[in-house]
């Protein structure tokens, strides 16, 4: 039965749900309360601050201001919600590059 469900998910009509299910959560660097900004850079307004131990989904990523953090120096910004971005240098993605599609 699971095989039938997988086959349906691969069909053309099920492409969007399969993408939505692929969103992965990543941990913010331990000991950091991370600022969430309205765009991909430090020049954008802070919209909220994540608590210690937060995990974030990454829907898409954009180039922006270069930031140095616990996971290196990066100009990649992660979109974690509509109009909300965090620097990739503070998110443990396991990669120095993009792990999600570029934001459109």
- For the cut 70, the answer to whether the pLDDT of residue 18 exceeds it is no
Exposure class string for 16-54: b at 16+ Cβ within 10 A, else e: eeeeeeeeeebebeeebebbbbebbbeebeeeeebeeeb
Higher pLDDT, 11 or 91: 91
Listed in sequence order, the residues at least 6 apart from 97 whose beta carbon sits closer than 8 Å to its beta carbon are 76
- Say what the pLDDT of residue 20 is: 52
| Mean pLDDT across the chain | 86
State the DSSP code for 101: P
Confidence category of residue 88, pLDDT binned at 50, 70, 90: very high
Nearest Cα residue to 92 out of 34, 37, 5, 14: 34
- Say what the pLDDT of residue 104 is: 84
77/10 Cα distance (integer angstroms): 30
Confidence category of residue 58, pLDDT binned at 50, 70, 90: very high
43/83 Cα distance (integer angstroms): 14
């Amino acid at each position: 039965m699971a095989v039938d469900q997988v086959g349906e998910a691969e069909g053309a009509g099920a492409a969007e749900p399969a993408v939505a299910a692929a969103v992965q959560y990543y941990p913010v660097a331990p000991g950091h309360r991370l600022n969430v900004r309205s765009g991909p850079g430090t020049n954008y307004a802070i919209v909220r601050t994540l608590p210690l131990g937060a995990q974030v989904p990454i829907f898409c990523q954009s180039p922006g201001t270069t930031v140095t953090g616990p996971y290196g120096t990066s100009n990649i910004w992660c979109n974690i919600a509509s109009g909300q971005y965090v620097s990739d240098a503070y998110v443990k993605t396991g990669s120095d590059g993009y792990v999600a599609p570029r934001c459109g």
